[in-house]
Amino acid sequence: MSFQGKYALITGSSRGIGRGIAIKLAQNGAKVAVHYYQNQSAAEVTLARIRECGSDGFIVQADVCRMEEITRMFGRAKSQFGALDIFVSNARTEIGTFYKSPMEIGLHEFDTAINSQAKAFLVGVREASHLMRDGGRIIAITYAPGGTFGSWQPWVAMGVAKAAMEVLSRYFAVALAARQITVNIISPGWIEDSVLNTLPEPVQDTIRNWHKEGWTPMARLGTPADIGNAVALLSSPEAGWITGQLLHVDGGASLMNAHLPLQIQQSAPRAAQSA
């Protein structure tokens, strides 16, 4: 697929999943606006990687919890690109700003999560739509289990915020359909070089082993490039009749049944299966 002549803006693209998306789109010819909040040096690395792919772009700083800064960010995209074809809402606030259980979290922390997701997406899509050419692509990055289950208690604020963003995506999919602009949602599984790496090392190791033992049927964690591939697929011309959908990109983890032991589900690690 080719994105030659296309312009993309990806929030939170200085590192991790966002960087993987930016590089994939650049490899296929898109010019990319690299958004960051605090880590300018990381954003510069992403832009350098984009240029190594033979494409180009620019970096832009903004706090996505502040609606006026989102407007400014899209103003910069207008001045640099003149138009937009792909908008990926990936940024979220740092885990320390909201990570408390439902019985402990304060309203400020709850609002921070909501502002960084649902409100940022509401404002971002409306700003993007003014720049976006017909046939454009809008993609929200979520974590769908956070809006389905309640077991990861300190994730409550972000779970609610992501779930609200998912619902908004469906409303925008209808609102923008007449212009052939699609709006879809990607829910990554556990990804290396992402939120996983902000957790204590013993927790990281436990999560990796859990999934390698079979709770992800493909027996590995994902990579930013895996999510970049999914974004590229949904951004392609061939995906023009797919809208308002949530795509799990998780190596099959969302197919597993927590009510049954792995032995009954016949999801032993690949090494054990080939023994």
Q: Tell me the pTM.
A: 0.94
pLDDT recorded at residue 170:
98
Does the residue 208 lie in any domain? Answer: no
Does the residue 34 lie in any domain? Answer: yes
Over its length of 275 residues, how does the chain's per-residue pLDDT go in tens digits? Answer: 899 999 999 999 999 999 999 999 999 999 999 999 999 999 999 999 999 999 999 999 999 999 999 999 999 999 999 999 999 999 999 989 999 999 999 999 999 999 999 999 999 999 999 999 999 999 999 999 999 999 999 999 999 999 999 999 999 999 999 999 999 999 999 999 888 887 788 888 998 998 888 899 999 999 999 999 999 999 999 999 999 999 999 999 999 988 888 888 876 555 444 44
pLDDT recorded at residue 260:
85
Instruction: State the residue range of the domain holding 127.
Output: 7-203+222-259
Q: Is 72 exposed, middle or buried (0-12, 13-18, 19+ CB in 10 A)?
A: middle
CATH of the domain at 148: 3.40.50.720
pLDDT recorded at residue 181:
98
Does the residue 82 lie in any domain? Answer: yes
Does the residue 132 lie in any domain? Answer: yes
Does the residue 229 lie in any domain? Answer: yes
**Dihedrals phi, psi of 187, to nearest 5 degrees:** -115, 100
Does the residue 273 lie in any domain? Answer: no
Give Cβ neighbours of residue 25 (< 8 Å, ≥ 6 apart): 3, 6, 8, 10, 32, 86, 228, 231, 232, 235
Does the residue 216 lie in any domain? Answer: no
If one counts the domains in the chain, the total is 1
Does the residue 272 lie in any domain? Answer: no
